A and B are shown apart, each in its own frame.
Chain A
């Protein structure tokens, strides 16, 4: 027997149905969202099969002077809630300049424990490193629901050189779509 969805209902935020069933669809008239019920663990969500787009970002107006040992790019830290079986695109944008131009500056995208998830060592002996835009990308497949962190870190190998990152260093997070069925329980 085919089960037909209940009358959707237009609900204000905070007044959602008290007895939803999996697959129930509502229109949230406060925020204009079309949501579906995915069970008590996931709650009301957008259609699971679509990309959900922007999740979080951070962009810093100031610049950062790279130190010799690897260290955090001050303030360039972002934490957000991931959902199991969703796919996330993490992009860190760094504007890099060097004086004098020389080899040996590394930029890292890391997790909260400083484990590298992407990295690049810039190297050039000519004019290619001034105001260069660097994009480090990570494709993250969530295997659990919880909070994760990404940070920008950097290091240099030439102590006397001035290596500057920024302004407008940023980390952006996007939901790219599903990586499996919704974890109902």
Chain B
């Protein structure tokens, strides 16, 4: 039964120690158990201050109390003439401590919104909509949005990177006069999009060309079908060779299901298109969840 001694000294407004003041300590909201041995904790304990106004009690450490949402309340029953009764709320740490160092501020919100600590393999079997969990093995904070969406991150925040492709070994080249996939930056089944979320796709690469002045290179981020566009951009060639242009563009889309991203290029006039890539010169395609596009479908 791990316990720590909590203590406090009571004085009146003149700084005089208050002796023989009753001190009542109980658990809020109600009965609780010791996690290590399963025994019930005494609902209330009473003591008195000594001649120096000091009270101290060995109390069950909060980390060993079930439910862990429990906290202590202490009422120091000083008479009205000495300032009146004082009530404090606190938790008991693993070390002997002064009451002052253990104080908490319970609020109504605290009592309603608090994560259930689980692991990714022991999520609640019968969750309710709005239930919040903290997965101790993954560090994820998840909310239950019903049977359709299941456990998700906070719906109204951005969720960050969801997919990434890169080329970092060798350049990609093509002489195709019709659209072809840029190997390594094309995947027809890249990730599963969630209905109601919005995705940002970015390209970071450099494009080169060797061929004819005045030719046009077409580039596009296409959908899984290889036909529909997310975003496209064309380049008018200003010199026959040695040409090198940064590619950075982005697309914002709301979609659902298994989706793809395909970087595709062509040049109707012929010549060689190059997407530069090496270990120190990666070409990147990234997809980010940037927040909701609609309210969650809660079922």
Instruction: Give residues in A with beta carbon < 8 Å to B.
Output: 1-11, 17-19, 21-23, 25, 36, 38, 47-51, 53, 87, 89, 103, 115-128, 132-139, 176-178, 181-182
Stretch at the interface among B11-19, B74-82, B236-244, B257-265: B236-244
B114 to A4, Cβ gap below 8 A? Answer: yes
A124 to B284, Cβ gap below 8 A? Answer: no
* Complex Cα spacing A119 to B283, Å: 11
User: B196 in the interface, Cβ–Cβ < 8 Å?
Assistant: no
Find chain B residues with CB under 8 A from A177 CB: 159-161
Instruction: Give residues in B with beta carbon < 8 Å to A.
Output: 35, 61-63, 66-71, 91-94, 97, 101-102, 104-107, 109-111, 113-118, 124, 134, 136-142, 153-154, 157-161, 164, 166, 204, 206, 238-239, 242-246, 248, 276, 280-282, 284, 286, 288
B114 to A8, Cβ gap below 8 A? Answer: yes
A/B interface sample: 8 pairs, CB < 8 A? A3-B116, A7-B104, A10-B107, A17-B91, A19-B93, A23-B117, A47-B141, A134-B246
Given A2-B116, A22-B117: A9 and B110 interface contact (C-beta under 8 Å)? yes
Number of A-B contacts (CB under 8 A): 180
Nearest-CB distance from B275 to chain A (Å)?
Answer: 12
Closest to A47 in B: B141
Find chain B residues with CB under 8 A from A8 CB: 107, 109-110, 113-114
B243 to A124, Cβ gap below 8 A? Answer: yes
Partner of B105, one of A11, A48, A115, A176: A11
B63 to A21, Cβ gap below 8 A? Answer: yes
A123 to B97, Cβ gap below 8 A? Answer: no
B284 to A139, Cβ gap below 8 A? Answer: yes
A6 to B105, Cβ gap below 8 A? Answer: no
* Complex Cα spacing A120 to B97, Å: 60
* Complex Cα spacing A82 to B262, Å: 32
B246 to A132, Cβ gap below 8 A? Answer: yes
Find chain B residues with CB under 8 A from A4 CB: 67-69, 114, 116-117
B280 to A18, Cβ gap below 8 A? Answer: no
A25 to B160, Cβ gap below 8 A? Answer: no
Closest to A9 in B: B104
* Complex Cα spacing A126 to B237, Å: 10
* Complex Cα spacing A126 to B239, Å: 7
* Complex Cα spacing A128 to B208, Å: 13
Partner of A49, one of B106, B137, B153, B164: B153
* Complex Cα spacing A10 to B137, Å: 26
Given A19-B92, A128-B245: A3 and B66 interface contact (C-beta under 8 Å)? yes
Find chain A residues with CB under 8 A from B101 CB: 18
Find chain B residues with CB under 8 A from A181 CB: 137-139
* Complex Cα spacing A25 to B112, Å: 12
Nearest-CB distance from B96 to chain A (Å)?
Answer: 12
Find chain A residues with CB under 8 A from B67 CB: 4
Nearest-CB distance from A29 to chain B (Å)?
Answer: 9
B137 to A3, Cβ gap below 8 A? Answer: no
A3 to B62, Cβ gap below 8 A? Answer: no
B246 to A135, Cβ gap below 8 A? Answer: yes
